[in-house]
Amino acid sequence: MYIKVCGVMAKKVASKSRKKIVSPKSVSTGRNLVIVESPAKAKTISHFLGRNYLVKASFGHIRDLPKSRMGVDTEHDFQPNYGVSKDKLKVITELKTAAAGAPFVWIATDEDREGEAIGWHLVEALHVKSSDVKRIVFHEITEEAIRAALSNPRNIDKDLVDSQQARRILDRLVGYELSPLLWKKVRWGLSAGRVQSVAVRLIVEREREISAFKPEEYWDITAIFHKIASAHVVSSVDAEPFPAALFKKGDIEVALTNGTDSENVVKALQGASYSVQNIEQKEVRKSPPPPFITSTLQQEASRKLGFSVKKTMVLAQKLYEGVAIGQKRSGLITYMRTDSVHLAESALAEAREVISRVFGAKYALEIPRRYKSGKGAQEAHEAIRPTAFSLLPSEIKSSLERDEYRLYELIWNRAVASQMPVALLQRVSVDILASKGGYVFRANGQTVAFDGYRKVYVEAGAKKDQVDRLLPHLEKNEALDLQSLSPAQHFTKPPARYTEASLVKKLEELGIGRPSTYAPTISTIMNRGYVAKEEKSLKPTDTGMVVTDVLIEHFPEIVDYMFTAQMEEDLDLIAEGKKEWVPIIRQFYDPFHKLITEKMKTIQRSDVISEKSSEVCDKCGSQMMVKLGRFGKFLSCSRYPECKNARPLKTGKEDVEKGKILTELEKKLANKKCDKCGKPMVIKVGKYGEFLGCSGYPECKNIQPIVKFTGVSCPKCHAGQLVERRTKKGGRVFYGCNKYPKCHFAVWDFPVKTPCLKCQGLMVEKKSGVVCTQCEAKQ
């Protein structure tokens, strides 16, 4: 429930000449009130300020649009009706009491649009005079930064507030008008959003690319050469064989599309001799990546640390808001929602000093490296960096939780690396000519001449450049001996599914969303059941695909990449004071509302959730229809409700395997009776797999789990057997002893019957193969 509060957009406060802050004691006997969003942030800042300051937390937004209705007056310039939720009434009362006797109220919320809006809402809800309000911003929570901010207050920025509220109103209009249409035409409880629907579309389109992909066969031929026995040996490497790949025939690159082609080449090379045709050496310079912005931090933390986007931001928030290091509490990193790669001059100077001291003078730059931020980035903000480079990760490891330390180390390493020299690689390519057919093989080698910034940081996916790939010392026209010639078959692979990291990268490339929206967007599409996470990959659900198809067909603008990116640019222009927010919302809403009204009448639900299939009902012989249910697509008899026959839809290889398992279960449990009404129990498929349900449903709602035995004895109690189970939260599969709660043994990976040959421990199936849970031996 919300208490209604008049909602008016922020009014521009007339600028006043800034004066030196007067000591609170000379104005009032009360304490200055500093308001931040979170208790952790309040705790850190209170350590820096004296008794004349009281630091309180608002616990995030204290006002919002109501949950039970739209709360936007579309007839009067989209004026919002804000409300204070009941759980924030106590916070408001406490803040009002503290503000009543305060000389000044200092709004110290985050420096982005969201923080500016929270600050404006606080001023409106507390009814504080504008002359008594001082807005302060800072990039880091350190004593120096807080005191500098107190010396340079400003007014609430009306343009930033308008931009945030325009986004909030726009998203509310889309959600509250489009979601009811989805409820009526697809399924109850669905939702649509401006950015979330575009993100789902990206994932759906990638899945369809994968489904439509047809692998193409190709072959390569690898030759293993070595120097002839009589050749002069300079080092031990000269005695080692080395590989070379078939590269070209004459001046034309070789493309082998089948086994016959490769066999013909091998036959043509029988009895051939080989010599070095050409040697090319070059120096490659690898420059360090810029310090992190929000999106790149999320991507690298996903790739290197395995963190979800949400987890990365939660940990970064903790590091920003402050951690106790010994007797001192301070923020460890700068603000984590940023799109700027800029580093302050003081930070550049400190980085150089630390690099020189820790790694040596040759790793320090004479002139700092400065990066240029992307389009639309706010250069007044900084990249994500340590607040003090002198706080080495190893020195504060004991003060941090494990994952906090890992993220801090990642941020420290990346920021330090950005101010270190380029890495120098020496690369050599050797072309080897066959005496028959004009075939040329190429061998590539590499040595790291100077590791430079890579002494500290190597980007995910670039580790191969760190490894020396040595070739023997070779001369032009030198004869070589062939040790073997091996053709190998390959097939082209489909594009990979999006991961959280690659989805953030794609959204950023398209200009969709901003630093503060990536994590909430991914959380939303997963929580709403549009996307499921399979290991690290994002796969669309049947519901996500159906809703995306509906939106593309009937509301193309909502899921159009260019349109969504343009809206983000308009919101940026509002924040910069270059556009008014009402005309932008009006331009979008009027045709959108008209289209919603029209589609509510013309879209037929049966066309959306049903499609014909070639399957025949095994009970009455009628045609089966593909329908969309709560847990995805399934087959249902076209004579429903006269015939209630339904079964899972089997499409891909995985579904066929599941179908076989289901058939076996049906045979095994064919005579199972309901222990409540005596009717036969039937196998049903829910969100988390198969279960038994009474055939008398809905009169009898009895259900029972299906226990799936693995046939592996429990290695702990030896009395029970490992069975498949699921976690209460998220339904993740694991394998635990069926004697639970007497025995608590459990493993995540599928157990194997054969014990470890080395220690007789339990073996489980992992991606890397079958591994022992005790000695980690591989089989």
Helix axes 309-321, 39-46, angle to 10 degrees: 30
Conformational region of residue 621, where left means phi above 0, alpha means psi within -120 to 50, and beta covers everything else: left
Q: How far apart are CA 106 and CA 154, in angstroms?
A: 10
Closest CA relative to residue 99, chosen from 159, 44, 31, 152: 31
Q: Residues near 37 by Cβ (< 8 Å), separated by ≥ 6?
A: 57, 58, 59, 60, 109, 110, 115, 118
Q: Which of 2, 82, 320, 335 is catalytic?
A: 335
Using DSSP bridges, classify how beta strands 217-227 and 242-249 pair: parallel, antiparallel or unpaired. Answer: antiparallel
Q: Record the tokens describing residue 484, joined without a space.
A: 């073997």
Active site residue 335: yes
Residue 294 CB neighbour total at 10 angstroms: 27
E-assigned strands of 264-355? 274-286, 323-325, 328-330
| Rounded Cα distance, 227 and 39, in Å | 70
| CA dist list (Å): 32 to 52, 134, 280 | 6, 11, 71
Euclidean distance between CA atoms 301 and 407, whole angstroms: 7
Give the count of beta carbons closer than 10 Å to the beta carbon of residue 640.
14
Long-range CB pairs of 610-619, under 8 A, 24+ apart, other chains included:
617/643, 617/645, 618/645, 619/643, 619/645
Retrieve residue 718's tokens. 């030896």
Q: CB–CB of 102/23 below 8 Å? A: no
Helix axes 518-527, 500-510, angle to 10 degrees: 120
State how far the alpha carbon of 420 is from the alpha carbons of 73, 300, 350, 370, in Å.
55, 19, 13, 12
DSSP state of 301: I
Strand 479-491 with 274-286, pairing: antiparallel
What are all long-range contacts of 627-634, with beta carbons under 8 Å and residues at least 24 apart?
Answer: 628/186, 628/187, 628/542, 628/543, 628/546, 630/187, 630/687, 631/685, 631/686, 631/687, 632/541, 632/542, 632/543, 633/542, 634/685
| Alpha helix positions (H), 466-580 | 500-510, 518-527, 542-554, 561-575
Locate 721 and state its tokens: 């057997």
Report the distance separating Cα 420 and Cα 367, nearest Å: 10
Of the candidates 181, 185, 182, 179, the residue with the CA atom closest to the CA atom of residue 607: 185
Amino acid present at 307: F
Single-letter code of the amino acid located at 200 = V
Treating both helix axes as pointing N-terminal to C-terminal, what angle do 158-185 and 113-126 enclose, rounded to 10 degrees? 100
Give SS3 for 343. Answer: coil
Q: Which residues are catalytic?
A: 335
